[in-house]
Amino acid sequence: MAPRRNGVGVQAEDTRICVVMVGLPARGKSYIAQKAQRYLKWLSIPAATFNVGNYRRNNAPHPSADFFDTNNAEGERKRRAAAEAAVKDMMKWFKSGGVVGILDATNSTKERREWVLDRIKGEGVEVIFVESKCDDEELIMANIRDVKTTSPDYVGQDPEQAALDFRNRIRNYEKVYKSINADGDEDHLTYLKIMNVGKQVIINRIQDYLQSRIVYYLMNLHIRTRSVWLSRHGESMLNLEGRIGGDADLSHRGEEYASKLPELVLESVGSDRPLTVWTSTLKRTIATARHLPKHYNQLQWKALDELDAGVCDGMTYQEIADLYPEDFQARDADKYNYRYRGGESYRDVVIRLEPIIMELERSEDILIISHQAVIRCIYAYFMQKTQEESPWVPVPLHTLMKLTPRAYGTEVQTYKANIKAVSTWRGKGSTAKHEDPKPEGGV
């Protein structure tokens, strides 16, 4: 399965990468794995996580700390079997078209890493080790309390007792733990080592672009709690006519929303700490942002412009259905991939938003004022919506959304301005009219 080449420069196979997590328990490995998987899937790169702990649980549902003692032969055997099972499933998954597989386990010894490398490289998959190393005892205990005591291993147990047991479990790992290349004899590995939450980072032997993208993304993650605020522009003149795209001014009610937005934002932020405002380059988002406080910095991004509807720009759905009936059908059948004639698809929008996501991961306190399709794509990133779902998410006008990423998932709060606006939502397979979203729909 290694890449095939022939003399005339034709190359066949594509890259497949296995990301092997390394580190003691409670170092945020699963958090990193989960985010990486979400990011890759959002970019349409098939990615999956294989958590060795879950395989082990099938065999030993509520183990005590002793189980993890390396001198416990029975425990050792079971843990090894779990790793085997996880790797086996991952290989099967690669054969069915997987691109980035994440092996989530401690992999804390040189022997174990060597075993994983042999096992996976033998099948033509590139291996990159990602280690999270942390010596800050407070951070570790905080992580244990937050995350680990709610783990399935401790269902129905006293949290303090559970935290203590978990700390002991870690001690068993600490006995044998060896940081990657700590002895200088693992220099042949491709790895990323993040120390004390990003204060220091080492990367070694990164081979190709996809690897460097993953590494760059992981280097940009920070774990401070922050929020991202999303709003569409106020109702526009074209919204009133049910037309898509264009570069129209705000309607009277849209202007009202722009005036009310500062109040809404203040209510949501809870203090006058400034946000950075990102708008598109179109008139309606700039106008919507213009009453925000002077001490907020404002930036225009071309990448935040609305999905380009190509030849259909400025039409109503009815006109599109009449003029391009086949396109209208095709778009409903696969809205994520449908590209307007001479325009863009949702997939295209996601690709152009990637630098924005990278910036969002790095930054704090951003308010984005953009457009329906763009907000849907950003929302899909944070809320892990599938490609089938994301283009249909209702994002009503005159509503501010606050997204707060947490360890496992993102919290959403919405603030309605209570200013009337037309609906710009249209259900799948429905008539070519805007309608009110079905009540079960997301936001």
Is residue 281 within the footprint of other proteins (CB under 8 A)?
yes
Angle at 205 between CA 201 and CA 210, to 5 degrees: 85
**Shortest distance, position 113 Cβ to other proteins, whole Å:** 17
Answer yes or no: are the C-beta atoms of 174 and 68 closer than 8 Å.
no
Is residue 364 within the footprint of other proteins (CB under 8 A)?
no
Burial tier of 220 (Cβ tally within 10 Å: 0-12, 13-18, 19+): middle
411 annotated ligand-binding residue: no
**Residues between 286 and 315 with contacts to other proteins, criterion CB under 8 A:** 286, 297-303, 308, 310-311, 313
The smaller minimum CB distance to other proteins, of residues 151 and 363, is found at: 363
Of 131, 305, 306, 344, which is the active-site residue?
306
Is residue 412 within the footprint of other proteins (CB under 8 A)?
no
**Local structure of residue 291 (DSSP, 8 states):** T
Distance separating the N- and C-terminal Cα atoms of the chain: 44
Of 69, 104, 165, 313, which is the active-site residue?
104
Is residue 248 within the footprint of other proteins (CB under 8 A)?
no
The smaller minimum CB distance to other proteins, of residues 179 and 298, is found at: 298
1 annotated ligand-binding residue: no
**Residues between 12 and 31 with contacts to other proteins, criterion CB under 8 A:** 12
The helix (run of H) or strand (run of E) holding residue 351 is: helix 346-362
Is residue 405 within the footprint of other proteins (CB under 8 A)?
no
The residues pairing with 17 across neighbouring beta strands, listed in sequence order, are 100, 126
Among 15, 44, 109, 220, binds other proteins (CB under 8 A): 220
Among 141, 147, 164, 202, binds other proteins (CB under 8 A): 202
Burial track 272-304 (b if 16+ CB lie within 10 A, e otherwise): eeebebbbbebebbbbbbeebeeebebebbebb
Is residue 226 within the footprint of other proteins (CB under 8 A)?
no
**Residue located via tokens 């003029």:** 323
Is residue 206 within the footprint of other proteins (CB under 8 A)?
yes
Is residue 124 within the footprint of other proteins (CB under 8 A)?
no
List, edge to edge, every strand of the sheet that includes 228-232: 297-300, 276-279, 366-370, 228-232, 399-406, 409-416
**Local structure of residue 3 (DSSP, 8 states):** P
Q: What is the dihedral of CA 319, 322, 323, 329, to 10 degrees?
A: 100
Is 233 in the active site?
Answer: yes
Is residue 184 within the footprint of other proteins (CB under 8 A)?
no
The smaller minimum CB distance to other proteins, of residues 175 and 290, is found at: 290
Q: How many CA within 13 A on the CB side of residue 382?
A: 24
Is residue 89 within the footprint of other proteins (CB under 8 A)?
no
Among 240, 347, 432, 434, binds other proteins (CB under 8 A): 347
Residues 6+ apart with CB under 8 A from 2: 13, 124
Among 124, 159, 293, 342, binds other proteins (CB under 8 A): 342
Catalytic residue ranges = 104, 233, 306
Residues at the binding site for substrate are 232-239, 284
Residues at the binding site are 232-239, 284
Using CB under 8 A, list all residues that contact other proteins.
5-12, 187, 198-206, 208-209, 212, 215-216, 219-220, 222, 247, 276, 281-282, 286, 297-303, 308, 310-311, 313, 339, 341-344, 347-348, 351-352, 354-355, 359, 362
